[in-house]
Amino acid sequence: MNAKALILCLLPLTATAQGFAGLGTELEGFAVPQPDPVFDFPTDHGPHNDYRIEWWYLTANLQGPDGTPYGLQWTLFRSAMAPEEREDWKSPQLWMGHAAVTTPDHHYVSERLARGGVGQAGVIADPFAAWIDDWTLQGDWETLQMTASAPDFAYEMTLTAEGPLVFHGDDGYSVKSAAGQASYYYSQPFFRIAGTLQLPQGDIPVTGNAWLDREWSSQPLADNQTGWDWFSLSFDDGNKLMGFRLQQTDGNNYTSATWITADGQTTAYPDGALSATPLDTHNTAGRDVPVRWQVQLPAKDVNVTVEAINPDAWMATSIPYWEGPVTVTGSHAGEGYLEMTGYE
């Protein structure tokens, strides 16, 4: 299958992987997340082929020797055309990888596409390994090695966990709509990361913090939801906040949040507890995208301004979206990442 044909096959499913345009479609025999999940590790670090969509999603806030901020992304998406696995080219699994490096002045992006069943891409739970072509993320989840390369950038990183896994929603059952759509969702937000960015201006040693999300489902959005704005914020006092705002066709939003203490204790907040309000937009790739936000969680006295380090962090991939590092000021200072989908 040539690259163009593969992209055409992936299009309806790449939209699914990104969290918009298709996530509310029918299940077609796939499994559905249920309340009161019981996770099994290391098995659940691996793929769940009876669910339609899944991702291993890492973002990192980095600093160079001169204090320059950088952002890094490594993502592997799995989408399925059918809920059962088959061997070789008959496999219904489709894989897509995204890698990016963001600087204050540039945003470097690369994409890889692959079919399942032939070894080009995949995930193994134990020992953990995720890959697409020569992009890799592997280790024991206490320490991971990560690589990616593209014509204009590359990186090699080591990640070391300094805290526990955290589970969003009700013990990992993350509700996404008033109608009850949901996913299984957990994170490792306590990675320290160090390595080398290879950019056109040369090699740059970097250190910082990374956040790895794991999520799988089959229909996590309702049919009236079109995209999301997702925040992962790490505050200077060691506490963290994950929050998202799901956009609805009636102009309203569905929200959810997880407060994460410095030692990994969590408090989940339902729809309405978190507010995320755009303050400024920026035209990038012909789209007006919010790049400065007011994020509030009154229950934790959070009232912060979240601002993009580079407002042009547009992911010009098969299904485009915005993803980049942010600064946090206000009641809490810190840094984080922002993902915005559905801005077409």
Q: What is the per-residue pLDDT across 34-86, written as a single tens digit (0 to 9) for each?
A: 999 999 999 999 999 999 999 999 999 999 999 999 999 999 999 998 877 77
Residue 18 has pLDDT above 90, yes or no: no
Range with the poorest average pLDDT among 6-15, 146-155, 197-206, 209-218: 6-15
Residue 4 has pLDDT above 80, yes or no: no
Average pLDDT over residues 80-98: 83
Residue 136 has pLDDT above 90, yes or no: yes
* Tokens 């999520």, residue located: 215
Confidence band (pLDDT; 50, 70, 90) for 129? very high
High-pLDDT (> 90) share of the chain, %: 77
Residue 22 has pLDDT above 60, yes or no: no
Residue 215 has pLDDT above 60, yes or no: yes
- Please, are residues 72 and 157 in contact by the beta-carbon 8 Å criterion? yes
Q: If you average pLDDT over every residue of the chain, what do you get?
A: 90
- Any alpha helices (H) in the chain, and if so which ranges? 3-18
- Chain-centroid distance of CA 248 in Å reads 20
Residue 225 has pLDDT above 80, yes or no: no
Confidence band (pLDDT; 50, 70, 90) for 10? very low
Q: Regarding predicted confidence, which is higher, 10 or 226?
A: 226
294-303, pLDDT tens digit by residue?
Answer: 999 999 999 9
**CA angle (53 as vertex; 339, 61 as ends), nearest 5:** 30
DSSP 8-state class, residue 22: S
Give the pLDDT confidence score for residue 83 in this predicted structure.
75
Considering only the top CATH level, what class is 45-340?
mainly beta
Range with the poorest average pLDDT among 146-160, 175-189, 213-227, 281-295: 213-227
Q: Regarding predicted confidence, which is higher, 253 or 71?
A: 71
Q: Regarding predicted confidence, which is higher, 220 or 15?
A: 220
Give the pLDDT confidence score for residue 220 in this predicted structure.
63
The β-bridge partners of 192 are 160, 209
Which 3 state secondary structure label does DSSP give 50? coil
Residue 30 has pLDDT above 60, yes or no: yes
- Chain-centroid distance of CA 272 in Å reads 22
Give the pLDDT confidence score for residue 223 in this predicted structure.
73
**Nearest C-alpha neighbor of 231 from the set 129, 332, 336:** 336
Neighbours of 1 (CB within 10 A): 11
Confidence band (pLDDT; 50, 70, 90) for 26? low
Average pLDDT over residues 188-208: 98
Which 3 state secondary structure label does DSSP give 44? helix
Give the pLDDT confidence score for residue 117 in this predicted structure.
80
Range with the poorest average pLDDT among 19-28, 68-77, 244-253, 326-335: 19-28
The β-bridge partners of 93 are 80
Residue 14 has pLDDT above 50, yes or no: no
* Tokens 């229950």, residue located: 299
Distance CA 174, CA 58 (A): 19
Whether residue 42 has a cis bond before it, omega within 30° of 0: yes
Q: For residue 9, report the phi and psi dihedrals to the nearest 5 degrees.
A: -70, -35
CB-based contacts of 250-253 (< 8 A; 24+ apart in sequence): 250/224
Give the pLDDT confidence score for residue 74 in this predicted structure.
98
Average pLDDT over residues 125-149: 97
Distance CA 229, CA 16 (A): 15
Give the pLDDT confidence score for residue 155 in this predicted structure.
98
* Tokens 């969290």, residue located: 19
Q: For residue 6, report the phi and psi dihedrals to the nearest 5 degrees.
A: -65, -40
Distance CA 61, CA 312 (A): 17
